[in-house]
Amino acid sequence: AAGVIQSPRHLIKEKRETATLKCYPIPRHDTVYWYQQGPGQDPQFLISFYEKMQSDKGSIPDRFSAQQFSDYHSELNMSSLELGDSALYFCASSFIYRGYNEQFFGPGTRLTVL
């Protein structure tokens, strides 16, 4: 079965640089979520999109932005990177079935900021 695809899997950047993370949801899934998991932490919700519109916003810094495109893939853009942005970034996709919304997670992108 198709799974959520994230690219790149690993990314190394310098402070103050910009990074773009990509997420390709499972076909026919209409919602995409982004989560950030710092070292030794639980995943924290950043932002979500439903049918290409932003549906909810969590603890996403103003330096970050995201969007969902017409083909439903999503990109998380991170500017002015800081050391504290080093984390595992998960994308998850879902669709609502019988009122239930199960999120399927991608493998994550490990971002290291030096």
> What is the rounded distance in angstroms from the CA atom of residue 10 to the CA atom of residue 68?
21
Judged by CB under 8 A, the chain residues 47 through 106 that form the site for other proteins are: 48, 50, 55-56, 58, 88, 90, 92, 94, 96, 99-105
Residue ranges of E strands in 51-85: 53-57, 64-68, 74-78
- Interface residue with other proteins among 26, 108, 111, 113 (CB under 8 A) is 108
In degrees to the nearest 10, what's the CA dihedral of 42, 46, 50, 55?
A: 120
Contact region for other proteins (CB under 8 A) — 15-23, 29-37, 67-75, 76-84?
Answer: 29-37
- Check: CB of residue 35 under 8 Å from CB of residue 26: no
Please confirm whether the linkage preceding 8 is cis (ω < 30° from 0): yes
Minimum separation from the CB atom of position 33 to other proteins (A): 6
31 binds other proteins (CB under 8 A): yes
- Interface residue with other proteins among 5, 22, 45, 86 (CB under 8 A) is 45
Number of amino acids touching other proteins (CB under 8 A): 29
> What is the rounded distance in angstroms from the CA atom of residue 98 to the CA atom of residue 111?
36
Binding site for other proteins (CB under 8 A): 31, 33, 35, 37, 41-45, 48, 50, 55-56, 58, 88, 90, 92, 94, 96, 99-105, 107-108, 110
